[in-house]
A and B are shown apart, each in its own frame.
With several copies, the nearest count.
Chain A
Amino acid sequence: MSWSREEIAQRAAQELKDGFYVNLGIGIPTLVANYIPENVQVTLESENGMLGMGPFPYPDQVDPDLINAGKQTITELPQSSYFSSADSFAMIRGGHINLAILGAMQVAQNGDLANWMIPGKMIKGMGGAMDLVAGVNKVVVIMDHVAKDGTPKLLKACDLPLTGSGVTDLLITNLAVFDFQNELPLLTELAPGVDLEEIKEKTEAEFTVCPKLKRHLHVQ
C-alpha cells in the first residue's frame, strides 16, 4: 500500500500555516488547494502575476485574461491583486512567499532537486521553478518514491540537470516523508503498509530514521 495522489496532497496541506502565502506547482501540488485545513487561511500566489488565486471558474465565468501559471483558467477573490512578472518574481526571489509545493523527477540526499529537463529527451524549460526553489522560504517536494521502471528517485546525487542546489526542505513521496533540515534526509513518516525495509530497498540516498518515526494508517 501507499498514499494516493489525494493523500499526498492532503499530507502536503498539513504544511500550510495560517496566514501563509503559498505557491503551488502543476500536478499533484495543485490538488493541495482542496485540502487546506480548517481555521487556516492561506493566500495562493500564481507566478504569472497574481496573489489571491480563486477556484476554477464556472463555465460562464471563464476569462482568457485570467489564468494561473499552469495556464488553467481561474477566478479572482475579493483580496486578489495583479502585478507584472518582474514584480511577481521580486516577491518570490525576495523571500516573501512562505511555502512552495512542487513536483520533482529526482531529489538528492543533500537536497538537490531536478524537475525541469531530461537531456536529449524533454526540453520544456524550467519556467519559474528555479526562482521558486531559490527564493521561497520553505520548499516542499512531492514525487513518486520510484520511477515508472522501479528505479529510485531519492538519490545520492541527481544525474539530471538541477533545478536548484540543496533547496529541498521536505520531501513527500507516495511511501514516506523526509525532512531535509540536517546533513542527511530524516525519515519521519511512513505511509500505511510501508515498512522501513521497503524504503531502504527503494531509496538510493543515505538517510537517517527519526526515533519518533510515525506509521500512518491514513493522512488526516
Chain B
Amino acid sequence: MKKLKKNAANALEGVLFDGMTIMAGGFGLCGIPENLIVALRDSGVKDITVISNNCGIDDFGLGILLQTRQIKKMLSSYVGENKTFEKQYMSGELELEFNPQGTLAERCRAGGAGIAAFYTKTGVGTIIAEGKEHKEFNGETYVMETGLVADLSLVKAWKADDEGNLVYRKTARNFNPVMATAGKVTIAEVEEHVSLGDFDPDHIHTPGIYVSSFIVGTDYKKPVEILTTREYVA
C-alpha cells in the first residue's frame, strides 16, 4: 500500500483512458500539478474533459494539452489568459462549459461529499442558470447545481507524508483540496516528502484517505503571471 510513486509517468500508469474526465487543481499558474500535466501530455491520452478553474497559459500548465489537442472539453470559470483556448473554442474544436468560480468549487466539494446537488443564488437570472431547476427559499430564488466527480484528480500540494496526508502552502491551496476529494482516483504531486509524524495532525489539509498515490515533483517552474512589486523607500 505504498502511496509514494517514483515519478509522474509511474503514478499515471494504468489509470488513464481516452474520453476520461480529469480535475486539475490550481488557480492561474499558482498551485498547479506541473509534473503530472507534462506526464499527461506525454501519455498521449485523448478526448479528455478537463475540470479546472483555468486552462494555464498557451505554453505552460494545462495549455500544453490544448496545443496537442488532447482536450475535448473544458469546465472552467476563466480562460482569459490563454489565446490557444480562445482560438480552438471559436473554431469549434473545443467544447467549453463556463461555471462561476464558486459554483465550480462547490460542485467539486459536493461531488466528493456525496451531495448530488445544491441550491445557490449565484447565476440566477443569467445564462448560467438557463435550463436549470429553480426553487424559492424564504422568498428568494435559487438555482440547482449538481455535484461533480472525476475519473482522476491531479492536485499539487506542498508536502506529503507516507500516508498521503497533504499540506498546502499559501494561495497555492485554492482548488486542490476539494478536487482531491472528488476524484475516483486522486494523484498528488508535492515539493517535499516528509516522514510519518512530521505533520501536526491538526494542521493536515487533506487527509490521506483522499490520496491514491503521490510523487515528489522536480524542476518546478512556478511562473508568475503578473509580477507586481513595490519599491523600497529609503
Interface contacts (Cβ under 8 Å), in number, total 238
Structural contact, B125 and A95, CB atoms closer than 8 A: no
Contact assessment for B173 and A83 in the assembled complex, using a CB-CB cutoff below 8 Å: yes
**A47 to B31 alpha-carbon distance, docked (Å):** 15
Report the interface size class on chain A: 35 or more
Contact A64 B177 (CB under 8 A): no
Residue of B nearest to A114 (CB): B126
Judged by a CB distance under 8 angstroms, whether B124 is at the interface is yes
In the complex, A125→B177 CA distance in Å? 23
**A to B CB contacts below 8 Å, 8 in the list:** A52-B163, A62-B229, A85-B101, A85-B104, A85-B178, A91-B209, A128-B77, A162-B126
Q: Give the contacting residue for A125; candidates B78, B127, B170, B227; CB below 8 A.
A: B78
**Chain B 130-178 residues near chain A, CB threshold 8 A:** 158, 161-163, 165, 168-178
Q: Does A18 contact B (CB under 8 A)?
A: yes
Known: A56-B228, A93-B114, A125-B76. A86 touches B170 (CB 8 A): no
Instruction: Identify the A interface with B (CB < 8 A).
Output: 18-19, 21, 41, 43, 45-52, 55-59, 61-74, 76, 78-86, 88-97, 112, 123-131, 134-135, 161-166
Q: B227 and A73: CB pair below 8 A?
A: yes
How would you classify the secondary structure of chain A's contact residues: helix, strand, loop or mixed?
A: loop
* B163 pairs with A128, CB closer than 8 A: no
| A67 lies within 8 A of B30 (CB) | yes
Question: Is B117 interfacial (CB 8 A cutoff)?
Answer: no
What 8 pairs between A and B have smallest CB-CB spacing? A165-B125, A89-B102, A124-B80, A93-B114, A131-B102, A90-B113, A78-B197, A125-B78
Given contacts A89-B103, A130-B103, A131-B100, list 8 more A-B pairs with CB under 8 A: A18-B1, A58-B231, A65-B171, A67-B224, A70-B226, A78-B197, A126-B101, A128-B102
Measured in the bound complex, the distance between the Cα atoms of B115 and A123 in whole Å is 28
| Chain A CB within 8 A of B12 CB | no
Would you call A48 and B174 a contact (CB within 8 A)? Answer: yes
Closest chain B CB from A57 CB (angstroms): 6
- Chain B, residue nearest A80 (CB): B201
Q: Which residues of A contact B27 (CB under 8 A)?
A: 48-49, 67, 69, 85
Question: Given known contacts A52-B163, A123-B79, A164-B125, is B115 in contact with A93 (CB within 8 Å)?
Answer: yes
What distance in Å separates the Cβ of A62 from its nearest Cβ neighbour in chain B? 6
Residue B61, interface by CB 8 Å: no
Cβ contacts under 8 Å, B100 to chain A: 126-131
Known: A49-B171, A58-B230. A125 touches B98 (CB 8 A): yes
A84:B172 contact, CB within 8 angstroms: no
Q: Which residue of B lies closest to A129 (CB)?
A: B100
Complex formed: what's the CA distance from A50 to B120 in Å?
22
Task: Tell me whether A76 and B173 are in contact (CB under 8 A).
Answer: no
- Are the CB atoms of A65 and B121 closer together than 8 Å? no
A19 to B122, CA, bound (A): 26
B89 partner residues in chain A, CB cutoff 8 A: 123
Complex Cα distance, B115 from A134, in Å, reads 12
B56 vs chain A, min Cβ distance (A): 12
